[in-house]
Amino acid sequence: MRLFGIRFVGFNAANGQKLLLTIAFLVIVFLLHRVLALLVRRFVRGRGGEQSRFWMRQGLNLATALLVLLGLLSIWFDDPTRLATAAGLVTAGLAFALQRVVTALAGYFVILRGKNFNRVYAEYGREHGIPSGCVSREEGTAMFTVESLRQYPSVVKALTGLPAEEFWGLVAELTAGWAGYQRQRQARPDRQRAVGGGRRCEQALALRVAVVLTYLRLHVPQAVVGALCGTSQAEVSRELREVLPALRDCLPCPAVWEPTDAVAAVPTASVLTPEQVGTGRVLLDATEQRVSRPGDAAVQRRYYSGKQQQHTLKTQLVTDDDHHILAISAAVPGATHDKTLCDGLHTLERLPDGIEAAADKGYQGLAAQVAIVAVCDVATREERCQPRLTAQTPHKKPKGGELTDEQGAYNRRLGTIRIRVEHCLGWLKHWAILATRFRCAHDRYTPIMCVLCGLVNAQTARWQAAQRPYSA
């Protein structure tokens, strides 16, 4: 055959027919493969069907490869001698060029289908701290059940971050109020389904709580948490929406302060009482959490934090000087200044009279905003004016100057008090969802932060109760 004066060696009418037949054959095989794959995905469902779907896909791929190989051989090789020669050359080339691939493929079948799987996976479990009794030997995945969690308290601690006795106590308290919580949730005004509608969860409540706490503690992809507990990614996302609010009622969670308008009155229920601030001092600080960069340029500017040099969400914490988190703010975009957030929350108006409020340098000017009240001396019946409370912030080094010795000593003394709110922030960052980039929707951040603050408050109460016998 000649094209533009060039003679193509070995290309003739017979080969052209074979080429067209090959293309048509490959298209037919591809379409057949796609149809069978869709049928497998459609009719093999359920949690127990994952292994069946995997092996059916593997068998389908293998059958397709054999069909393509036989079809190509039948089309192009009609002479047995030529077929034997070509097969010898192809196998020799594969044996030389694909030694590692052939070895890996053989090891794949030996490990998965042979008797070596249990030993290999048990070694993997020992390296990653997974007890051998938690391994499902039939499916080859680490499946944590209620029975295995009760049998291995160390697994409960590793997954949820709670001691086993505290975890089961939390589950028992949640179980006692679960029916009432469900009635309240189903009777909410914005519910679109009728009461009793919707799909019912088949998991035990203890395992659902473990799923939520494991995701908060490890912050691995939700599909990984689902594989650990025998559920799916969609179920993990559902548990975050359904179980997380119920956990809030079972934990000593702080109040959540929403920003209000300048002319709006502060809600009375959000004002802290003197009994809540038992030590007479509160500590203020803000923390930032990295989030994904928004797509819109205007939204990016709102979330970009110049201090962190990344896009963040910001939350203000209010604690006492005994490591108890009393209140948090609703999350705001990271470009919001600490002082602006404090003013938007009307923080000073939410604090009781006569206490001390300590903050860092980001709250400069806080003391000047304290309201002046008239106080009557009972003994002398004289009336004098004084600040409603005391606000303390560190001295800021003047431009081109240095702090005096008294100012430096004041800053150090204030730092020894403020370190307690830094302790609380550090304990919150033990939960990986607050220490890594936040991947959930932004409207879930404040409920998650509130529940984690409740867990930290419960942890603080545990170790403080354990220290009382030694301090007595």
CATH code, 81: 1.10.287
The rounded percent of the chain whose pLDDT value lies above 90 is: 40
Both 438 and 405 in one domain: the answer is yes
Q: What does the block give as tokens for 306?
A: 């110049």
Q: How confident is the model at residue 261 (pLDDT cuts 50, 70, 90)?
A: confident
Judged by average pLDDT, the poorest of 44-58, 205-219, 350-364 is 44-58
| Other CB atoms within 10 A of residue 375 CB | 14
Both 281 and 263 in one domain: the answer is yes
CB 344 within 8 A of CB 259: yes
Residue 417 in this model has a pLDDT that exceeds 80: yes
- The pLDDT value given to residue 86: 61
Q: Residue range 70-79: average pLDDT?
A: 75
Residue 194 lies in a domain: no
Whether the pTM exceeds 0.95: the reply is no
Residue 241 lies in a domain: yes
Residue 221 lies in a domain: yes
Residue 423 lies in a domain: yes
| Other CB atoms within 10 A of residue 155 CB | 21
Q: How confident is the model at residue 73 (pLDDT cuts 50, 70, 90)?
A: confident
Judged by average pLDDT, the poorest of 3-12, 114-123, 208-217 is 114-123
Task: Kindly give the interhelix angle for 233-250 and 164-176, rounded to the nearest 10 degrees.
Answer: 80
Both 165 and 134 in one domain: the answer is yes
How far apart CA 236 and CA 154 sit, in angstroms, is 22
Residue 119 lies in a domain: no
pLDDT in tens, 145-168: 888 889 888 888 988 999 999 999
pLDDT in tens, 129-150: 555 555 444 444 446 888 888 9
Residue 113 lies in a domain: no
Both 401 and 446 in one domain: the answer is yes
Both 289 and 232 in one domain: the answer is no
Adjacent-strand bridge partners of 314: 288, 332
Domain boundary among 218, 234, 250: 250
Both 297 and 429 in one domain: the answer is yes
pLDDT in tens, 277-328: 888 899 999 999 999 998 888 899 999 998 889 999 999 999 998 999 999 9
- The pLDDT value given to residue 140: 41
Residue 208 lies in a domain: yes
Both 27 and 148 in one domain: the answer is no
Sign of CA dihedral 28, 31, 33, 36: negative
The total number of structural domains that make up the chain: 3
Both 77 and 152 in one domain: the answer is no
Both 384 and 268 in one domain: the answer is yes
Q: Residue range 41-53: average pLDDT?
A: 66
Residue 121 lies in a domain: no
Domain boundary among 51, 77, 97: 97
- The pLDDT value given to residue 136: 47
Both 23 and 47 in one domain: the answer is yes
Domain boundary among 97, 119, 146: 97
Residue-number span of the structural domain to which 175 is assigned: 129-188+201-250
How far apart CA 191 and CA 198 sit, in angstroms, is 11
Both 6 and 84 in one domain: the answer is yes
Both 405 and 265 in one domain: the answer is yes
Q: What is the DSSP letter of 74?
A: H
